Structure formats: C-alpha cells, structure tokens
Amino acid sequence: MKRALITGATSGIGKGVAIELARQGFTVVIHGRNDQKTSQVCEEIKTISGNTAVDYLVADLFLMEQVRKLAGEYHQRYGRLDVLVNNAGGLMSKERETTTEGIEKTMAVNVMAPFLLTGLLLDLLKNSPDGRIINVSSNSHKLNAKPDFSDLQLERGYDPLRAYGNAKLFLIWLTQQLSKQLKRQGIDNLTVNAVHPGAVATNFGVESNLGSVLKVMAKLARPFFRTAEQGADTLIYLASSDAVNGKSGLYFVDRKPANVTTTYYTEEREQLIWDYCDQLTKSLVA
C-alpha cells in the first residue's frame, strides 16, 4: 500500500488531495499546525474516504527546527514514503516579518520548509519503487517575481506579492535542480515536479494584512476561482497516475507540462538558490 505525506492538509487543496488519495487506497499522513484541528480533519478524511489508514503529524513549518522534528517523527512512526506533497505555503502581510529563526516568513514556509523536509525524507523516497515529490508552486512566479539575487529575503523593497512570486519561482528552480541531481545519481525511481493548481477559492491569504486595495481585488475575483477539488486535480494526477511515470523536473498546469518564465533564469542562479537554501537550513538545524 502506497504511503503519502501531505503538508498543509487541514483545508483547501491539501485536504482535497488527502481525501482522494485515501479513496484510492493510499495510507495517508496529513500535516497541520494545530493538533485539535488536524486530528479532527484526520477523522473527517477517514469518514469521507472510507479508509481508516489515515494519520496526522503536527508542526509549524515556519520554523526549520519544527520541520526537522516533523521529518524525525515521520521516520520513527512510518518508515516508508512513496509520495511527498509539499503543499503548505502562504502569502504574508504587507509588512515584512521574520520568524524567530530570522528568516523572512514567505521564504521560510514556501521555500525553506519544502526544501528541508524533502531533503530529510529523501532516503525514504529513494527506497520507494515509484517515489514522487510534488511541490505546489504558482503562476505568481510569472506575474509577481522580481528577485534581487543580492537580497533574496527582500530586506529592501519588500512587497508581499513580490516575495510570494519570488518564493514560487525559487521552488520551481529547486524542483528542477533536484531532478537533475537525481538523474546524475542514476536514480530513476524517484521523480520531482512542480504544479500550479490555479486560482482556488480557499482560505489562502485570508488572514494576511495585504492592504485595502488588494483585499477588494481578491474579494471581487473570488467568485471566478476554482473549487479546492478542482485545484487538487493535477496534484492527485501527479501523485497517482501512471501517465507521469518517469517525468521529472517539470512544471504542470491542468495535468500538462507548462512553460516556466525564463526572465530571471540561469543555471548559475538555480544553483545559487539551491546552495543558499542548503547552507541556511544546515546552519539552523545542525
């Protein structure tokens, strides 16, 4: 029985993915930030899917120490992993904020957390006959990214949409870089892909203080957004379909590989982002 870990799975897209994979017979482990809510959603998924092989883990993925703890608990309790869905993420407030570990919050939860969690669980994923890593990115990487490679955490010129766009661009680059590394190592039983789920009507960004103009725009656009189930579709496809066997290092939209913006891309910058994440996470969880 395949086993999947889905971060940020107490609502929205993550919950939709968890329900469908449980329906398909996966053993599903969901992650959330709040013990009571995550436990409640875990029971709900069991009821909806008819699958009792659903469990949960709790961690605050803004903090790398908590990411390390989550990976350690996963190893200890389960010992097998076939599908990792790095779904947790978020758009932050209009004022720049850092975590208690000193990382800008957008970068922490959208980039550093999936990078570190993937690295810490890579041994299990490599042991799977058909391992899959799915990183949830966004079209914002085209619309809003404007990275400054001398100021990756935007200490200057911070804007929440710019920070989010940058983070989702960096996550695609990390996806591409990991895929290259796996290929160089001759590992063909593990793939890693990024996905844009579409604009989805979830609670995403609801608690962010984005300012009045952005809030009004979001409210007006909301009726045109996809449902969480529609947003989850391509993630479920990447997690379970035989049609994507062996496909790696790609960015998917509506079940199809899509173009990634090349505006800021060079191989050197992709490597720079990988090295930056590697060095920063190692310094925090040594």
Provide the annotated active-site residues: 158
Residue owning tokens 């955490």? 153
| Pick from 24, 29, 22: nearest CA to 8 | 29
Phi, psi torsion values for 47, nearest 5 degrees: -65, -50
> Residue 28: what are its φ and ψ, rounded to 5°?
-115, 130
Helices and strands, number each (H, E), in the chain: 10, 8
Residue found under tokens 């290092």: 249
| Contact residues for 175 (Cβ-Cβ < 8 A; gap 6+) | 133, 135, 137, 192, 193, 194, 249, 251
| DSSP symbol at 103 | -
